[in-house]
Amino acid sequence: MKMKAVLTEVEKELLNRLTRLASLLGLNEAAGRIWGVLLLTGGSLSQKEISKLTNYSLGIVSMNLSRLESLGLVKIVKRVGKKKFYAASSSLTDLFKNFVSLIADNHLEALVNHLQNTINSFDDHTKKNAEAILHESKKFKLFLKNLIEKLK
């Protein structure tokens, strides 16, 4: 697939929107833009090509591609000599599921565990509020887990 030399205005606007959405879902701006370019072009691009389309330096592109690879959002699809070509390996839905799973499995789980381990350390007034927070946290975690299941 031949790389686009430049993005059209409508493509740039779509890329900006994808970047903002990816930022809301936990990616930094550069990672979101790089991932967006790979989604938008739908093919495989080298770091140099990604750099040209995003206006990021090769160093920024390389660092963020490594991060995106570790998150399972991007993969190397071919190599030509030392040159690697990358493609998006996940969809917007996948990114959303990863984000929601992170909230449910890490942040909410840690909050629930902390509250369960310390609930009796609070004075009566605070304990009542902490119990309400614990109840809501469990409810929210269950909601997120159900949402993830529906997205599969």
137: nearest Cα among 120, 122, 115, 152: 115
| Range 8-15, long-range pairs (CB < 8 A, 24+ positions) | 11/40, 14/40, 15/40
- Which residues have a Cβ under 8 Å from the Cβ of 74 and sit 6 or more positions away? 34, 35, 38, 65, 68, 86, 87, 88, 89
pLDDT tens for each residue of 14-66 = 999 999 999 988 899 999 999 999 999 988 999 999 999 999 999 999 999 99
What's the rounded mean pLDDT across residues 98-117? 93
Q: Tell me, what's the pLDDT at 149?
A: 92
Q: Tell me, what's the pLDDT at 103?
A: 92
60: nearest Cα among 25, 38, 32: 32
pLDDT higher than threshold 70 for residue 4: no
Q: Tell me, what's the pLDDT at 6?
A: 83
pLDDT higher than threshold 90 for residue 146: yes
**pLDDT interval class at 132 (50, 70, 90):** very high
**pLDDT interval class at 98 (50, 70, 90):** confident
**pLDDT interval class at 3 (50, 70, 90):** low
pLDDT tens for each residue of 55-92 = 999 999 999 999 999 989 999 999 999 999 999 998 88
**pLDDT interval class at 2 (50, 70, 90):** low
